[in-house]
Amino acid sequence: MTTLRSMLFLLMSVPITAVFGVLVPLGGLFGVRVACAFARAYTQVMLKWVEWSLAITYEVQGWENVPAGPVILMAKHQSAWETLFMEAKFPAQCWIVKKELLWLPFVGWGLIAIRCIAIDRSTGSSAREQIVEQGAQRLKDGLWVSIFPEGTRVAPGKVGRYGIGGALLATRTGTPILPMAHNAGEYWGRYAFKKHAGRVKVVIGPPIRTEGRDVVSVNNEVQQWIEARMREISTERYAEA
């Protein structure tokens, strides 16, 4: 059943992505907000398709912590599921992504249209300054900025190195950070074809104040909060099992 569900999901997700891979860039011709609206619609459709085809549902704790104004959204990265969730459920946002993603058909075109910040991580400080310069402008324009601080997908139970790019942007601009933890990787593995039915637990934390603080302490607080919630989510799941 898991294999059949995964095949069905892939069979329909390709044409859905292709259609919106054209609509999002076309929307960008009329402004970033239109492109973001199409991107949001795409992820809403995909999130519903994930639920129908893969039987992967979700529950969210902490909606009351989501502020009205722009923030920097920093989340655990385990799979592709959370990218769909974040784009579908939070306000218009731009993403900090690896520049290689821009070469992907459809997906890359959409990322360009929503004015993502594409960086070359090998450039170190240059990439961080790019995040600060472009991210500050996106925030000024009223967009959220979303980033996975570990930079790449990590397996459940593992912790990657938390880069300081997002925290640097936050401290330089005085923008709060909204942290998010989840266990999507337990059902949708890193680059895995087979996805397993289950209920993803998402926890959204209170915004972390950054104004007047140093980047290291902010980054450490983000990591400590996210990883503590990850341990709690894992403990709760196995206690239920």
How does pLDDT run across 47-93, given as a tens digit for each residue? Answer: 999 999 999 999 999 999 999 899 999 999 999 999 999 999 999 99
50's enclosing H/E stretch is helix 32-54
The answer to pTM > 0.85 is yes
User: What per-residue confidence (pLDDT) applies to 163?
Assistant: 92
CA distances for 221 relative to 29, 54, 129, 130, 161, angstroms: 39, 35, 21, 23, 14
